[in-house]
Amino acid sequence: MVKKMNSFLFDVSIFIDIGIVFHILQFLPTIGIKFLISFKTGKRKLTLTFKGRPLFSEEENQKGLTDHSLYIVVLIPAWNEQDTVAKSVTSILTQTRKPDKVLVVPNNTTDLTAVAAMAAGAQVLVMPGKNTKKKAGALNYALDQLSAELDSHKHSAVIVMDADTTVDSDFVERAENKMGRNKYVGGVSSIFVGRNSHNILGTLQQMEFARFRRLVKERIEVYVLSGTASLISWNALKKVKEARIIGKQLPKGDSYYDVDSMTEDNELTLALLALGYTIPHVGIESITDVMEDFKSLYNQRKRWYMGALQNIKMYGLKMPVWMRFIYWFQQIGLYMALAITPIILFAFITYIIRTIMITGTLTSLFTLNTIIALILFYAYIFVQVITVWDQGWMARLLAFFYIPDLVYGIFLLIFYAGALWTFITNKELSWIQT
């Protein structure tokens, strides 16, 4: 029995070591293979990459959309955002390339969001009546109202931006250039980061977003077209609506955004990819609020996780094979983490307690295997600290002491388990503003 336990603990320790190595490698320059769009054919193909980018670039083969400026309208859906909407409007109106129109779309609002938006310089398009379809409903309403205006220009695009978000001053300019150079670009995303927080929970989210930003910056495309701030081709949006109505390439629907999805930005990403578009980023950051209490964080993540599961179920085999490989495997990875994490934690604690009970000391832990594990662990801590260094002293300390990071990760898994249970039991999840 003792031998079996030792063998099991040894296997678990090896598994942990391998996991640490892979975690470290994702932040280092490595060679990989990704499904990227070919600028020659417009089709996806396996491409050899270094640091997430093609080893042999196809930039010279890009087929340009236009050499002229796009007609760009900014849409900012807002629900009771009187305290933040002015900063969002100001950040988009002070761009190096000013948009042609900025519209705030208050819906179900009971505060002075519209007044604050107009005072900051935006136009206001009030959605009449009660909007039961939330953000997607507000965006569909605004796009329907603007369709004739957007159609009157040869090349139009829409920036969809959250009312609690600010963006770097050259986002519009760089996103427009990216879209103009390549007709396959359906949308250009910003990379969201967390606004500075003064409590531990908020700082842990800043750290999570900062690490995600590092990973995304090394990629050509984003996983999700960020709802915080993204430039989306009007022609692409029209093709999405048309494909929804037909219901062959995309799940059945009747508008630009899917109003039944818990995560409309994720669903639109899948729609654009399924229709053959690419969704790059330009390295620009959008700063958005973090959740500073567990209830808000739980509501946000349960909606995110549940939405992703719903979208994958909706698309099913409508996803091209390369998309299934990416998005299905993401969910499988979460399932595995959900199942394996408790086992690893139990084995690690059992190993420590058993060693102390038998020997009365921790010195016997220092075998060759544990020495290797300790070296890897210290390397892991180093990477965790370095990847959040620009987030300030509190983030560095939390990363260095490890336990807060670990507990936060476990809570996210618990939140995912809640979303998964809701999904499996087919319970309805209410959309909660966060």
Residue numbers of the domain that contains 266: 64-312
CA distance 290 to 292: 6
Output the six-digit token pair for 426.
């087919």
In a domain, 40, yes or no: no
Task: Please report, for residues 28, 207, 235, the alpha-carbon distance to residue 288 in angstroms, rounded to integers and kept in the order given.
Answer: 27, 13, 28
Look at residue 385 in the predicted model and tell me its pLDDT: 95
Look at residue 433 in the predicted model and tell me its pLDDT: 63
Close Cβ partners of 19 (under 8 Å, ≥ 6 residues apart): none
229 and 373 assigned to the same domain: no
Q: Could you say which of 277, 312, 347 is where a domain stops?
A: 312
Task: Please report, for residues 215, 230, 280, 286, the alpha-carbon distance to residue 283 in angstroms, rounded to integers and kept in the order given.
Answer: 11, 12, 9, 10
In a domain, 44, yes or no: no
Exposed/middle/buried for 67, CB within 10 Å: 0-12, 13-18, 19+?
A: exposed
Tell me, yes or no, if the pTM score tops 0.75: yes
Locate all alpha helices (DSSP H) within 160-233, ordered by sequence.
171-181, 200-217
339 and 273 assigned to the same domain: no
In a domain, 236, yes or no: yes
Look at residue 368 in the predicted model and tell me its pLDDT: 67
Look at residue 175 in the predicted model and tell me its pLDDT: 97
In a domain, 320, yes or no: no
Secondary structure (DSSP) of 92-152: HHTSSS--SEEEEEE-S--SSHHHHHHHHT-EE-PPPS--TTHHHHHHHHHHHHHHHHHHT
Exposed/middle/buried for 430, CB within 10 Å: 0-12, 13-18, 19+?
A: exposed
Token pair 């250009």 in the structure block, residue: 188
Output the six-digit token pair for 372.
């290797």
153 and 296 assigned to the same domain: yes
Output the six-digit token pair for 419.
């979303």
In a domain, 114, yes or no: yes
In a domain, 252, yes or no: yes
Helix (H, G, I), strand (E, B) or coil at 298: helix
Token pair 């989210």 in the structure block, residue: 205
Q: What are phi and psi of 342, to 5 degrees?
A: -60, -35
151 and 235 assigned to the same domain: yes
Look at residue 8 in the predicted model and tell me its pLDDT: 56
In a domain, 34, yes or no: no
CA distance 223 to 215: 11
Q: Are 241 and 256 in contact (CB under 8 A)?
A: yes
Exposed/middle/buried for 214, CB within 10 Å: 0-12, 13-18, 19+?
A: middle
15 and 125 assigned to the same domain: no
Domain count for the chain: 2
96 and 160 assigned to the same domain: yes
Output the six-digit token pair for 90.
């100001």
Nearest residue to 156 via CA among 168, 143, 167: 143
Q: The domain that contains 177 carries what CATH number?
A: 3.90.550.10
pLDDT tens for the chain, 434 residues long, are 555 555 655 656 676 677 777 778 888 888 888 888 888 888 888 888 887 788 877 777 788 888 899 999 999 999 999 999 999 999 999 999 999 999 999 998 899 999 999 999 999 998 888 888 889 999 999 999 999 999 999 999 999 999 999 999 999 999 999 999 999 999 999 999 999 998 999 999 999 999 999 988 888 899 899 989 999 999 999 999 999 999 999 999 999 999 988 899 999 999 999 999 999 999 999 999 999 999 999 999 989 999 889 999 899 888 888 888 888 887 777 777 766 666 666 666 666 666 555 555 555 555 666 677 778 888 888 999 999 999 999 999 999 998 898 899 889 988 988 888 888 888 766 656 66
Q: Are 265 and 226 in contact (CB under 8 A)?
A: yes
Q: Could you say which of 259, 282, 312 is where a domain stops?
A: 312
10 Å Cβ neighbour count for 31? Answer: 9
Look at residue 54 in the predicted model and tell me its pLDDT: 85
Q: Could you say which of 312, 345, 367 is where a domain stops?
A: 312
Secondary structure (DSSP) of 244-257: HHH-SSS-S-SSSS
164 and 133 assigned to the same domain: yes
280 and 376 assigned to the same domain: no
140 and 252 assigned to the same domain: yes
193 and 306 assigned to the same domain: yes
In a domain, 299, yes or no: yes
Across the strands, what pairs with 31? 50
112 and 155 assigned to the same domain: yes
What is the distance of C-alpha 354 from the center of its chain? 41
CA distance 202 to 352: 32
Q: Are 104 and 76 in contact (CB under 8 A)?
A: yes
255 and 130 assigned to the same domain: yes
